[in-house]
Amino acid sequence: MADETGPLPPGASQDAPVFVISIAAELSGLHAQTLRSYDRLGLVSPGRSPGGGRRYSARDIALLREVQRLSQEEGVNLAGVKRIIELEQLVDELREQVAELHEQLAAAHAAAEQAASMIHQTYRRDLVPVDRSAQVVVWQPRAPRRRPEP
């Protein structure tokens, strides 16, 4: 699988921490010390090897490029970049939640439709539909007339 960061090892995902810091620095166009600073500031959180070395994923490298673009081209300070990244991650999480809720709602709707269908199948077929637009008049007999007293 290849993407804009270059070839990934076979079977590796975008989130697999596979790049050592020197390769990540080269792929992102940044100095290794800058990557360490960004890690300390919490802008990028690379994985760690068993020995404690930083391991960057393709997604981390894309994020490093975005940090660089925001700070250099857009003039956003690093605190602002961190906030932008946090908000973008929150938006992504909320989009995932909305998608899950849509799926749950569709499943609930389908279940309700199925339940209604099952109930409709139990209706008696000899019932006659009633026209609800017709008016109903209730007849009340008149009170008997009183005869005048003599």
Q: Where are the domains of the chain?
A: 2-109
What integer pLDDT is reported at residue 119 of this predicted model?
Answer: 87
How far apart CA 60 and CA 56 sit, in angstroms, is: 6
What integer pLDDT is reported at residue 2 of this predicted model?
Answer: 41
Residue 74 is classified by DSSP as S
Is the pLDDT assigned to residue 59 strictly greater than 90?
yes
CA distances from 91 to 5, 94, 103, 129 (A): 24, 5, 18, 52
Here the tokens at position 37 are: 């600073």
How far apart CA 91 and CA 114 sit, in angstroms, is: 34
Q: Residue range 114-134: average pLDDT? A: 78
What integer pLDDT is reported at residue 6 of this predicted model?
Answer: 57
Query: Domain spanning 2-109: which CATH class is it, in words?
Result: mainly alpha
Whole-prediction pTM = 0.63
- 3-class secondary-structure state, position 49: coil
- State the angle between helix axes of 58-72 and 32-41 in degrees (0 to 180), rounded to the nearest 10: 90
- Contact (CB, 8 A) for 28 and 35: yes
Residue type, 77: N
Q: Is 68 exposed, middle or buried (0-12, 13-18, 19+ CB in 10 A)?
A: middle
Q: What angle do CA 37, 43, 45 make, to 5 degrees?
A: 90
What does the pLDDT look like over 67-102, one tens digit per residue?
A: 999 999 999 999 999 999 999 999 999 999 999 999
pLDDT, averaged across the chain: 87
